[in-house]
Amino acid sequence: MNALTNYQTILGSDGKPAFVVLPYADFIKLPGAVASGTIPNAVVGRRIMDEVSMLQAWREHLMLTQTEMAERMGISQAGYAQIEAAKRPRKATLQKAADALGISLEQLGY
């Protein structure tokens, strides 16, 4: 297992470590960051109540912009916006998006 090296420790008023800040990409790789196979209630609620795609609901839940998702997928923001708005995105595209989100294809619910 590789030790994390790209993080910042924030000390509390007592001088002891209180918080750790690390890049989000490293965070989602940590075991338990997003429980395998589960879909958070906030994602399901956003999907159902606001009638957005699962892809958009997950992206917003993980506090990512379309631009950030596009960068993770190696495509343009406009290209990502089309994927998010599509009624039936291709399975290979969804797999790439799931990988970028750090979740399984099944968690996207397609």
Sorting pLDDT into bands at 50, 70 and 90, what band is 44?
confident
Sorting pLDDT into bands at 50, 70 and 90, what band is 30?
confident
Counting every residue written for the chain, the total comes to 110
Q: Rounded to whole angstroms, what are the CA distances from 75 to 20, 42, 58, 70?
A: 31, 27, 18, 5
What superfamily in CATH does domain 41-108 come from?
lambda repressor-like DNA-binding domains (1.10.260.40)
Q: What is the DSSP string of 13-69?
A: TTSSEEEEE--HHHHTTSTTSS-TT---HHHHHHHHHS---HHHHHHHHTT--HHHH
Determine the average pLDDT of the residues in 19-27.
Answer: 83
Instruction: Give CATH 1.10.260.40 domain extents, the chain.
Output: 41-108
pTM as predicted: 0.67
